[in-house]
Amino acid sequence: MTKKEITKQGKLIVFSAPSGSGKTTIVRHLLKQEVLNLAFSISATSREKRGTEVHAEDYYFLSASAFKQHIKNDDFLEWEEVYRDNFYGTLKTEVERLWALGKNVIFDIDVSGGLRIKRKFPEQTLSIFVKPPSIDELKIRLKKRKTESDDKINMRVAKASAELATAPLFDVIIENDNLEKALQEAENIVGTFLASENKK
């Protein structure tokens, strides 16, 4: 694969947050709002599938070696080694695919990845940080999922403290202490951003 940069310009909506903050729920809600014309950017990951996850729907599941080869080929818009040999990233071809469909692209990604996209495309990116009411509440939500061991949950909680410190670097912070309110706030913010962009 030849090295290349994305040239076509489109609109990008980035949602980042500590795991368990509710950003995925918010993103799924926004995708149902047809007026926003959004399409979900499917991330690539080297982690194992969980539960009923489907390749090319939830994630592009790659082996660690395949992921590293894509890094060498400069195929990613952004990527991150979240834990040892546990990679996440956004393939350039994925964003190009969605822009070719005439869609606004929405991301549900790691804080570091979200900030990288904002830096690469500052004008057409709206970066939103979803903040949990507290670290304690975050831990409760992660335990309720019953998808990970206590050790993994503790790792995520420790990481969340560092991620919360990056919140001011995002364009908007939404505090998810009331889900209905957070959904409406997200809808209003994204709708306003897309409407103002369209007028330019």
Amino acid type, 32? K
With respect to residue 2, please indicate whether it lies within any of the assigned structural domains.
no
With respect to residue 167, please indicate whether it lies within any of the assigned structural domains.
yes
List, for residues 133-175, the tens digit of each pLDDT value.
888 888 887 788 777 788 888 887 888 888 999 999 999 999 9
The share of the chain scoring above pLDDT 70, in percent, equals 94
Whether 194 contacts 11, CB under 8 Å: yes
With respect to residue 46, please indicate whether it lies within any of the assigned structural domains.
yes
Question: What pLDDT is recorded for position 12?
Answer: 97
Q: Chain-wide mean pLDDT for the chain?
A: 90
pTM: 0.86
Selected residue with higher pLDDT from 192 and 143: 192
With respect to residue 6, please indicate whether it lies within any of the assigned structural domains.
no
Quote the DSSP letter at residue 80.
E
- Residue whose pair of structure tokens reads 């997200």 in the numeric block: 186
With respect to residue 17, please indicate whether it lies within any of the assigned structural domains.
yes
Indicate the SS3 state at residue 118. Answer: helix
Indicate the SS3 state at residue 106. Answer: strand
Question: What pLDDT is recorded for position 5?
Answer: 56
* Structural domain count, the chain: 1
In CATH, what number is assigned to the domain containing residue 53? 3.40.50.300
With respect to residue 4, please indicate whether it lies within any of the assigned structural domains.
no
Q: Which domain holds residue 127?
A: 12-195
Report d(CA 87, CA 78) in Å as an integer.
11
With respect to residue 54, please indicate whether it lies within any of the assigned structural domains.
yes
Question: What pLDDT is recorded for position 136?
Answer: 82
Local confidence band at 3 (pLDDT 50, 70, 90 cut-offs): very low
What average pLDDT does range 177-181 have in this prediction? 95
With respect to residue 7, please indicate whether it lies within any of the assigned structural domains.
no
> Lowest-pLDDT range, 18-27, 63-72, 174-183?
18-27
What average pLDDT does range 48-72 have in this prediction? 96
Report d(CA 177, CA 132) in Å as an integer.
7
Q: Which of 18, 50, 31 is nearest to 139 (CA)?
A: 18
Question: What pLDDT is recorded for position 140?
Answer: 82
Local confidence band at 100 (pLDDT 50, 70, 90 cut-offs): very high
Question: What pLDDT is recorded for position 198?
Answer: 56
Question: What pLDDT is recorded for position 7?
Answer: 53
List, for residues 16-48, the tens digit of each pLDDT value.
998 888 899 999 999 999 999 999 999 999 999
pLDDT(197) > 80: no
**N residues, the chain:** 200
